[in-house]
Structure formats: C-alpha cells, structure tokens
C-alpha cells in the first residue's frame, strides 16, 4: 500500500517568527503520526529557520522551487545542492502558479526534476488544467502533455522517487474543489498514463497527491479514493489545526 503524503505549501506567506511558530505547532500536533508522511514547504528565506524546528521530528522539509543548474551566474536562483545543505528532502516543481505567472515550461521543469533527483531530493511534480481547458474537455490531453514533457528522459528506476501532484488550477485558492469522483478520475487516468509510459507495476508505486482547496472537512472523502495518495495543501497549511485536520483525514 502506498503511504499517504501530506505536504503544506506555504507559498509567499508568513514572516520568520510566524514560520517558526507554525512549524512548532505542526511538529507538536503531528508527533507520533507514523502512517502518514508529512512535510512543510516554507518560503526559501525561512527554510533554515524551519529546518531547525523540524529537525529530528517526523515532519520533513521541502522547498517551493529551485533552479536546474548546479551553480554559477544565475542571480536570485537556488540550486538543489543548496536546498540539501539546508536540510530539505523535497522540492515542489512545476506548480501551476509558476507555469501560469512565471512562464515555466515543461522543458524547464524537466531539467529541474532531473537536477533534483541527482541531488537526492524528492520532486513533487505538479500538473493540472485551467478551467477553460476542463470545460473544453481537454483535461486528459493537458495532463498527458505535461507528464510527457516533465518526465522526458526519466528512467524506470527514477520514477518511484517522484511524487506527482494533480492540481486543477481552477480549484487552487478559489474555494472550489473537484468532487472526489472528478479527482479520482484524473488520478486514475494519470496512473494509467504512467503505466503506458513505463509499466503497471511501477505506476502502482508512484504516489499521486491532490491539491486544490483541500480542507479538514473534505480531506477524508478525497483521500479515501483509491488513486489519491495524499494532498499538496495551500491555504489550509497556514493554520496548524487545519493542516493537522487534513493529516488526520489521511490516516487509514
């Protein structure tokens, strides 16, 4: 059975004191939870502060982005090795906000995935469709294009080291949420797609998170679906009680 994975994406929120306080509350509330993998992903400027809080706990540390080059004249960027040096185990790549607002392409995301794997990080690879794409019946085509581009050149040995997060863009921060049936349909299609690219056995090993207005009130029903293996949580991860409520919904 795939172990559920709940990760909190704090996005561009909080200050240093707030990040430390939130991390402490999550660590305290998640103490003793062994059947769910847990991570928090603070803004990069607070990674070191949060690393000091989560170190030695069952809460892992993730970054929200990275650059694909190992080092060099890339002003403002952060490398995979730097993230590892700070204590990160995970990195979110290809989030819809970076695709939509910052112009990230599947090719660029693919380079980042490869660099993250080479450094020993677990990439959380995000895919998802816009509202107009869903309404036009293009969800499957959009997901296939993003998967094909983002996983280009990824070997069968590397695939199980990647977490995929399906995030319908129309459900991120909008209060709208895909129904459990809608989410499960895409997750199931994603797993079939991975089976076609690699094989069914490998596809069954890959964890696929759902993201998009996940809350304690809908988490258990979403996470009970057979192909939904956790959640990449945005707004609800900024309140420890809400985040812990979602973790509780993932326990089986």
Q: What amino acid positions are annotated as catalytic residues?
A: 95, 167
127, HSE (Cβ side, Cα atoms, 13 Å):
27
Give the Cα separation of 39 and 51 in Å (integer).
11
Give the Cα separation of 78 and 44 in Å (integer).
9
Helix ranges restricted to H, 44-105:
47-54, 80-86, 96-102
Contact 243, 200 (CB under 8 A): no
Nearest CA to 66 out of 94, 35, 39 is that of 94
- The H-or-E segment that residue 235 falls in is none
Contact 167, 232 (CB under 8 A): yes
According to DSSP, the residues that pair with 2 across neighbouring strands are none
Work out the end-to-end distance of the chain between its first and last CA atoms, rounded to an integer number of angstroms.
11
Contact 212, 171 (CB under 8 A): yes
């Amino acid at each position: 059975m795939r172990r559920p994975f709940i990760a909190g994406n704090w996005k561009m929120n909080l200050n240093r004191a707030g990040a430390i306080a939130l991390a402490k509350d999550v660590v305290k509330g998640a103490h003793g939870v062994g059947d769910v993998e847990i991570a928090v992903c603070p803004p990069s400027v607070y990674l070191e502060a949060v690393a000091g809080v989560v170190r030695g706990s069952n809460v892992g540390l993730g970054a929200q982005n990275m650059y694909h080059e190992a080092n060099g004249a890339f002003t403002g960027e952060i490398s995979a090795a730097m993230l590892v040096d700070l204590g990160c185990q995970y990195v979110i790549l290809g989030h819809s906000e970076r695709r939509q607002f910052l112009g990230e392409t599947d090719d660029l995301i693919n380079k980042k995935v490869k660099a993250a794997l080479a450094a020993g990080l677990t990439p959380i690879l995000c895919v998802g469709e816009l509202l107009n794409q869903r309404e036009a019946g293009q969800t499957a085509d959009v997901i296939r294009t993003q998967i094909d581009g983002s996983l280009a050149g990824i070997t069968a040995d590397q695939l199980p080291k990647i977490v995929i997060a399906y995030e319908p863009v129309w459900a991120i921060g909008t209060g709208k949420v895909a129904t459990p049936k809608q989410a499960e349909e895409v997750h199931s299609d994603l797993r079939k797609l991975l089976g076609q690219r690699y094989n069914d056995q490998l596809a069954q090993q890959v964890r696929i998170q759902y993201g998009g207005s996940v809350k304690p009130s809908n988490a258990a029903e979403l996470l009970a679906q057979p192909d939904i293996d956790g959640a990449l949580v945005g707004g609800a991860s900024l309140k420890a009680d809400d985040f812990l409520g979602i973790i509780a919904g993932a326990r089986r």
